[in-house]
Structure 1
Amino acid sequence: MSTKSARQALAAAVLAASSLVALGATPASAVTAPLCAARVVQHFDLGKGQTPESIVLSPGGTAYVAFAKARQIAEISPTGAVRVLATLPAPADGGVNTPALGFPLTLGIDRAADGTLYFLYATGTADLTGVWSLRPGGTPRRIAPLPATSLPNGLALDQSTRTLYIADSAGAIWSVPTTGGTAGVWSTGRELAPNGFLGANGLKLRGGAVWVTNLDQGTIVRIPLRANGSAGPARTVATGLTGIDDFAFTGRGTEIIAALDTVNQVALVKPDGSHTVVLTEADGLQGPTAIAVRGRTVYVPSAAYLTAKDPNLLQAHLGR
């Protein structure tokens, strides 16, 4: 595939999402390690641009999703009922200057214990690009601007310090308090840089460190959080993960499940950096973009940006 074709195809990967249905736990019958009982629990409408992007699960079973192309944030009940909570304003120029993509989109999302949602919006314009928040029953507001040249992608909230960390696919990590204000560059370097398309992508917090993927480099990077809140030296902990997007920890130490969207796979990444492909197109994947884990249930939204067939939500059981 040419660089141009790959760029166009991957651009479609960060579009809209739709409903998540059947969010109950997968039965634990016939369990085999590492993932089993994979099944598609919801099909999305590609014609309506229902290509799911990021996802966060609440303790009560509700899911929150960024409908990227629609510029929306939605609430999905455990029974599959979809309620749009917010639609963000369109940029005056249509978002044609959004870095790498050329259209405006909502991206990473996380949730605070009080129900406040934090999410990212990239438009290629200085008046809208940045970190946004939405309180229960409220209206969305931008709490921290980011440069028009940035592509804020992955987002994680440190509940203890009330700090948000933002993976910028242009090659940086930003941080800003949940109260908002001016975001600061928290970390930069070659480990976060793109190599033609998108660099830093998915982002999570674990074990006193920020963990971030790099799509172009196919890597997972660990950056220690020092006691004063600054970034320690970045270290690449896993390689060879072609087209890695977002990911989640399984709950077993630093073991990771990662979405490899450009190769239509999901990989289990061990703490030593080795990885095994655990789901493929044969399981129903259609360009996976993100991972969420609740207990032993794994949720994998697929965007179908390369296959252009069947965007969906897959559910699997994590073996012991």
Structure 2
Amino acid sequence: MPRQHPRLAAVATATAALTLLAAAPASAGEPTVSDPRVVAHFDFAAGETPENIALEPDGSADLTFAFAHKVVRVGKDGSGPTDVATLPEVTDPQTPNLGAAIATGIARAHDGTLYVGYATGTAETGIWRIGPGGGEPEQIAQLPTDTFPNGLALDEECGTLYVADSARGAVWSVPQEGGEPTVWASGPALAPSPQLPFGANGLKLHDGAVWVSNTAEGTLLRIPVEEDRTAGPVETRATGLDGIDDFAFTGHGDTALAALNTDSKVELVRPDGTHRTVLTATDGLDNPTSVAVRAKTVHVPSAAYFTTPNPDPNLLLARISKNKS
């Protein structure tokens, strides 16, 4: 596998010119992150670059390995990885801004069904379903070949999957049972830029809204879900998050932990948009791609996309204090 991919080169070049927002100091009563430790290391040369994460009830992690285009499971003690499913080979991928087929976002239904995004630039681009227990993936929705499906979240109550499209700068909705995708939200706030062709990236459902990160703009956005299930006006909730990939909320409030890929940081983002660094490369991060929070544990996969000469893709766990925010 090549050491650097077109997507990664574009990100690295663009973010070098960006200016970081000064981190605000810790505030009383907000969550704290401590005791970071890397529990699993992966093989960069084999394409074991963890892109996204979903948690199992027992605390194990389902990870998409981007360039190996597969889903694996890692035990909460770091055991594994165990293969869950592999997406089909694509003979001539034409993935926008990249040219390589990659597995992207992952979401888990309560019955154990997994949904995975696949960006290929071919007819295989779209959302794939993996039944409980693994097995052969099935494509349930085909997205246009010029899209880049990335962050993914499932609203089981309404039977809808939401998909961030990094190439077109949009959010798609897809029926959970499969079918025709629909552009649910779009506009300048979600768009990529000429300098950095990756816009809408991470995506989460939280408190009646679809939240999306925009890598090109370094922003965290909130899109209200209206009563008729259409998208409300896009709200910018945080800026200065250069190199932001995916994110997760720490509780019922709007405090989030955001993975800053190129800077190998995790930022705690407060409801007022200010943020501070809580994890860095010295803790073991190596280009983190996503975050998951379960009870008192934070899970952070790193893909080591930009690290030379010794990339260390891994899974890091840390402790988070219990807090209503």
TM norm structure 1: 0.88
Mapped to 2, the partners of 1:291 and 1:246 lie a distance apart of: 7
Q: 1:73: which partner in 2?
A: 71
Q: CA distance change for structure 1 residues 53 and 160 in 2, over 3 Å: closer, same or farther?
A: same
In the alignment, the residues of structure 1 paired with residue 316 and residue 33 of structure 2 have an alpha-carbon distance, to the nearest angstrom, of: 12
How much does 1:6 deviate? 8.3
CA distance in 2, matches of 1:108, 1:174: 13
Tell me which residue corresponds to 1:122. 119
Residue 319 (structure 2) aligns with: 317
Deviations 1:112-147 (A, max 9, x none): 01111001011101x211011011244211101100
Q: Deviations over 1:41-70 (max 9, x none)?
A: 222222323221101002222321112211
Contact 1:10 1:306 in 2 (8 A): no
Q: Percent identity?
A: 53
8 Å contact from structure 2 (residues 35, 319) kept in 1: yes
Gaps of 5+ in 1: 13-31
User: What is the match of residue 224 of structure 1?
Assistant: 224
1:214 lines up with 2:210 in the alignment? no
Q: CA deviation at 1:297?
A: 0.7
Q: Give the aligned residue type for 2:38.
A: V
**Residue number in structure 1 paired with 2:82:** 83
Answer whether contact 2:6 2:98 (CA < 8 A) is retained: no
Partner in structure 2 of residue 186 of structure 1:
184
2:127 is the counterpart of 1:131? yes
Aligned length: 295
User: Equivalences for 1:138-217 in 2 at 5 Å?
Assistant: 138-170=135-167, 171-195=169-193, 196-217=196-217
Amino acid corresponding to residue 66 of structure 1 in structure 2: T
Inter-partner Cα distance in structure 1 for 2:45 and 2:10: 17
RMSD, matched Cα = 1.9
| Consecutive unaligned residues in structure 2, runs of 5 or more | 13-29
Q: Distance in 2 between matches of 1:194 and 1:299?
A: 27
- Contact 2:6–2:97 (8 Å) recurs in 1: no
Cα distance in structure 2, aligned partners of 1:6 and 1:140: 27
Offset of residue 158 of structure 1: 0.6
In the alignment, is the contact (CA less than 8 A) between 1:10 and 1:305 conserved in 2?
Answer: no
State yes or no: 1:104 paired with 2:101: yes
Give SS of 1:251's match: coil
> Partners of 1:256 and 1:134 in 2: how far apart?
28
Q: 1:10, CA displacement in angstroms?
A: 6.3
Distance between the aligned counterparts of 1:141 and 1:8, measured in 2? Answer: 28
Cα distance in structure 1, aligned partners of 2:136 and 2:283: 39
CA distance 1:6–1:241, change in 2 (3 Å): farther
Which runs of structure 2 are paired with 1:246-265 in the superposition (5 Å)?
246-265=246-265
Q: Deviations over 1:54-113 (max 9, x none)?
A: 0100222232111221111123333413321222212231x1x10011100110000001
Cα displacement string for residues 291-314 of structure 1 (whole angstroms, at most 9, x for unaligned residues): 011111111111111223322211
User: Which amino acid in structure 2 is aligned with residue 187 of structure 1?
Assistant: A
Q: Pick which of 127-136 and 72-81 moved more.
A: 72-81
What is the distance in 1 between the residues matched to 2:82 and 2:264?
29
Aligned residue number for residue 63 of structure 1: 61
